[in-house]
């Protein structure tokens, strides 16, 4: 049994519209009204943040409002970008940094991910640092070195105080949106190695406290098995987070592993 409170995020990516984002938010809030022992965040597209925030507030929900991305500069001539202060102004509490699609489709480097993550933490927000290897990297036996490089790079210059506001999401690139999932044993091995690395960087206490989510084609049918693993503290959910009937059971599967300390 884990003493870390499970955490589940729903990454809506570039999906939904004004009507369906509101419907989805209402469905998730109502479906999880009685859910305890789990932290939940939703990550709508930027244009719908305020509408989703209004729904969370009106229903007194503890579900956190998340942003899928941020730009590390405070303001200025950065057309199309969004700052931490703008996100805070919209009620955002947590920000994804280095999602696989940002790294591999939009070309973000470890250094850029690190700049974003530090801007998020400096602004007093929570960050979820996403890491994960590609299929080629996995097939060449580079799973651990790639994840270790991304964790080290992403967390460079983060302070001992700030690490308590960081969650890591291990998301093998080959499992995102593909229907392929890491086996619980494979995911557990990577999570344990990431936790060991955090112990080396920030100390044993921080390593025991930090939550490491798994992401990559999590569904109601495989969630419970994944979340049973001792170092898997919940999930970052893409496709299945767009359906209330799939996201709610995944959150419940995560909640069931927690015991109050």
212 vs 236, which CB is nearer to ligand PEP?
236
Among 133, 173, 239, 252, binds ligand PEP (CB under 6 A): 239
Residues between 116 and 175 with contacts to ligand PEP, criterion CB under 6 A: 171
The stretch among 49-57, 142-150, 152-160, 236-244 that binds ligand PEP (CB under 6 A) is 236-244
Residues between 177 and 206 with contacts to ligand PEP, criterion CB under 6 A: 177
Residue of minimal Cβ distance to ligand PEP: 238
Q: In 10 A of CB 198, how many CB atoms?
A: 22
Among 131, 176, 197, 223, binds ligand PEP (CB under 6 A): 176
Beta carbon of residue 196, minimum distance to ligand PEP (angstroms, whole number): 23
The stretch among 24-32, 112-120, 151-159, 238-246 that binds ligand PEP (CB under 6 A) is 238-246
155 vs 236, which CB is nearer to ligand PEP?
236
Beta carbon of residue 234, minimum distance to ligand PEP (angstroms, whole number): 12
Beta carbon of residue 228, minimum distance to ligand PEP (angstroms, whole number): 18
Point out which residues bind ligand PEP (CB under 6 A).
11, 171, 176-177, 215-218, 236-240
């Amino acid at each position: 049994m884990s003493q870390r409170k499970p955490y589940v995020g729903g990454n809506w990516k570039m999906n939904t519209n004004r009507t369906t984002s509101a419907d989805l938010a209402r469905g998730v809030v109502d479906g999880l009204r009685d859910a305890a022992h789990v932290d939940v965040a939703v990550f709508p597209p930027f244009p719908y943040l305020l509408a989703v925030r209004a729904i969370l507030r009106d229903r007194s929900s503890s579900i956190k409002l998340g942003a899928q991305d941020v730009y590390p500069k405070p303001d200025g001539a950065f057309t199309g970008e969004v700052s931490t202060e703008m996100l805070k102004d919209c009620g955002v509490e947590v920000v994804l940094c280095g999602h696989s699609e940002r790294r591999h489709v939009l070309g973000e480097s470890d250094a850029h991910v690190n700049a974003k993550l530090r801007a998020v933490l400096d602004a007093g927000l929570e960050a979820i640092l996403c890491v994960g290897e590609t299929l080629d990297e996995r097939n060449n036996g580079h799973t651990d070195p790639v994840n270790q490089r991304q964790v080290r790079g992403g967390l460079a210059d983060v302070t001992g105080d700030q690490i308590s506001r960081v969650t890591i999401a291990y998301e093998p690139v080959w499992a995102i949106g593909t229907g392929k999932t890491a086996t619980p044993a494979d995911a557990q091995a990577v999570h344990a190695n990431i936790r060991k690395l955090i112990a080396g960087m920030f100390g044993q206490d921080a390593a025991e406290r930090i939550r490491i989510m798994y992401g990559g084609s999590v569904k109601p049918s495989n969630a419970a098995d994944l979340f049973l693993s001792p170092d898997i503290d919940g999930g970052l959910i893409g496709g299945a987070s767009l359906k209330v009937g799939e996201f709610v059971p995944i959150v419940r599967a995560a909640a069931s592993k927690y015991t109050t300390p």
